[in-house]
A and B are shown apart, each in its own frame.
Chain A
């Protein structure tokens, strides 16, 4: 049954592709617009684990840098790099916390109906490594053990880019981002909310 649902979702998602294309088929192709505008940003905020993950790690702060570039007339490419340090929700012997570096690559859609808000989505690659006491390093098959080595996992994200004010080449706004990592035994969901300041380079 789960597979049938997935199949139906697949069919619907690709039907949506067709609709998206037919609605905007006249829009100028990428190469005449791509990289015609380029923005860099700094960002900071808080990340909130969701679901079972609230029992694994606590909320934490994050900082990051980003780039946004024109891709199509109504789509921007986005690249984000963020760092955060998570502390375990319960005490894990010899593990103080986890460093996380997150890279995100995707697209923002500037839908005219909700302008200037943009809707974005893309893929994530997260690298993690525990901050631990080497003298009491947990075994690989005990809690915290896998994180004492480099661990990488992929996932996807969706975001709302909410500009608050724009002035000349600067913009400040709110970034509300939902991310899901394809982990086991359950997927890992988190919400992050952060403020950004963006500068247009060209």
Chain B
């Protein structure tokens, strides 16, 4: 059910309402907050590492991945080049103390002594430790150090040459991010405030397909939520470098947002209104490989929901500034249906000059200037219908949609450059000024028994018709997934997910398209729970069954991994 929820939230830009009863599942634990995409089962999710992946829900409409699209829901996510990323997350976690470790499975250990040839490459770990104190008169302190060394081996040799040290807080695996922060906050009533400061190493994936090492020293983030007003301000002093070429630069950046959220009283009204603005201001010195036109961007936005009756809802989000605009809107009709069932008919639209109006506008690569903006605009229209029906402990549902997109963002490649194992590209962001059409269908079935057991089977297909060779990614046509969550004797959790995804293809990041073969995957979480003591002992197996392949150009192998966590809540 979570994936269905996500689909609704993501598709409409503003939270949609679900029709039917929701069977709450726990799900397989992500290896780290923000890596949930690796266990997603309802579309095309290709992971090159924690800081770069392609994530598109089947039925979302259009060709873009979800993380490429800016929305007000992502104001507190990180902007990594032109993607909004939940990771590395600076969200203060609930009061607790926790330790996490794990590894890509397949080190030699004692096999080292008897394996002189064809030795497997090194497997790399994951590390995290942190705490947040209970509140004392509303005040609390927190600290967290975390890095994900998975997905680092395949590109390590190339990346290593670009930096002058290990580029991580711990170890020598050149992880794609390594973060440490500490701070304090105040939470009481309608006030929630925090100040965090720390140091961070991040490898950012760019439009040219380069990995850019960025060292934030320091990074400071302040959040103040009072009543329905949310404020975020971040300061980053970012060092850029290419040690091999003796290049270096520095970017000092202020970014943040102000948002008024529709409150409880407002949400009961027929017309609901939220508004705010997001901003960035950069000051570049030396070579930083990207540029933000005018060194600043301010993006005011407004969200509307008009619901004159329970059967009808219209939603809209508009963000606009002097350079770009982005609109997401939908109209939904829910006709009367028998008890415990529901029907939804809807139309949604996304239009705009840019998927992410906050992102930098140019990338500099090997003497070339890559324009990250394209003339014109994109228009996506989608009509959809869904139904659910509940019979006792069984729920059945389905959804079908048709979509058409004109002006989809793509990349116009001038030239590919091969550098040992990696491939880069010259060119500019462009548009497919032609209609791309898609038709989708999904069916699901859920069964549950009290709190003990919940099972869901979900399957979907999508047929896309358009100039495929200009798609950045040709999404998978089929998926099937089976998820089950057990809570044995109210204190031992087993969550697992078995799923299949058909072939997907990267068309524009290398001369020959990279086909990511379809495969079966299985993930599972086992957890001893001691709710009375707030103690949770968790072990998670990820990417079992699936072949260990590279899922994104210039990415790394998605390997079988095990992660264990000990958490004590306060």
Contacts and interface: CB of A to CB of B under 8 A. Distances in A.
A56 B539 CA distance: 29
A27 B489 contact: yes
Contacts of A71: 491, 528
Contact of A184 (B111, B113, B537): B111
Contacts of A27: 489
A153 interface: yes
A144 B109 contact: no
B238 interface: no
Nearest to A18: B453
Interface stretch (A110-118, A122-130, A170-178, A193-201): A122-130
Contact of B105 (A10, A17, A21, A154): A154
Nearest to B122: A146
Interface in A66-114: 71-72, 77, 86, 88-90, 92, 98, 105, 107
Nearest to A26: B489
B522 A10 contact: yes
B530 to A, nearest CB: 5
A152 B453 CA distance: 34
A34 B533 contact: yes
A64 interface: no
Contacts of A56: 110-114
B116 A154 contact: no
B103 A152 contact: yes
Given A35-B530, A142-B116, A183-B109, A21 B488 contact: yes
B118 A185 contact: yes
A35 B562 CA distance: 27
Contacts of B139: none
Scoring B109, B119, B528 by chain A CB atoms within 10 A of each residue's CB, the highest score goes to: B109
A45 interface: no
A144 B114 CA distance: 9
Interface string B499-527: 00000000000000000000010100010
B109 A77 contact: no
A30 B115 contact: no
B495 to A, nearest CB: 11
A10 to B, nearest CB: 7
B161 interface: no
A25 to B, nearest CB: 8
Contact of B113 (A7, A57, A182): A57
B545 interface: yes
B111 A88 contact: no
Interface string B528-549: 1111110001010000110000
Contact of A182 (B101, B453, B522, B560): B560
B266 to A, nearest CB: 40
B384 interface: no
Contacts of B441: none
Given A34-B533, A143-B115, A185-B120, A123 B110 contact: no
Given A29-B489, A31-B491, A92 B113 contact: yes
B484 interface: yes
A34 B491 contact: yes
B492 A30 contact: yes
A17 B486 contact: yes
B496 interface: yes
A153 B564 contact: no
Scoring B120, B522, B539 by chain A CB atoms within 10 A of each residue's CB, the highest score goes to: B539
A146 B116 CA distance: 12
Scoring A35, A52, A72, A154 by chain B CB atoms within 10 A of each residue's CB, the highest score goes to: A154
Nearest to A24: B489
B15 interface: no
B456 to A, nearest CB: 14
Contacts of B113: 55-57, 88-90, 92, 143-144
Interface residues of B, number: 49
B520 A7 contact: yes
Interface size classification for chain A: 35 or more
Contacts of A119: none
A150 to B, nearest CB: 9
Contacts of A154: 102-103, 105, 562, 564
B111 A31 contact: no
A36 B422 CA distance: 57
A35 B105 contact: no
B532 A31 contact: yes
Contact of A29 (B114, B115, B491, B560): B491
Given A17-B494, A21-B452, A29-B489, A153 B103 contact: yes
Contact of B520 (A3, A77, A146): A3
Contact of A153 (B105, B498, B530, B539): B105
B358 to A, nearest CB: 40
Contacts of A6: 522, 544-545
B452 A49 contact: no
A143 B116 contact: yes
Contacts of B532: 31, 34
A184 B108 contact: yes
A182 B489 CA distance: 30
B192 to A, nearest CB: 30
A155 to B, nearest CB: 8
B106 interface: yes
A17 B496 CA distance: 13
A188 B562 contact: no
B125 interface: yes
Contacts of A20: 488
A151 B107 contact: yes
B114 A55 contact: yes
Scoring A88, A126, A182 by chain B CB atoms within 10 A of each residue's CB, the highest score goes to: A182
Given A3-B520, A152-B107, A125 B564 contact: yes
A18 B449 CA distance: 11
14 contacts: A7-B498, A7-B545, A20-B488, A30-B531, A92-B113, A143-B112, A144-B113, A146-B112, A147-B108, A152-B107, A152-B125, A182-B106, A183-B106, A188-B110
Interface of B: 101-103, 105-116, 118-120, 122-123, 125, 452-453, 484, 486, 488-492, 494, 496, 498, 520, 522, 526, 528-533, 537, 539, 544-545, 560, 562, 564
Given A143-B115, A152-B125, A184-B111, 7 more contacts: A7-B545, A10-B522, A21-B486, A71-B491, A143-B112, A153-B107, A184-B107
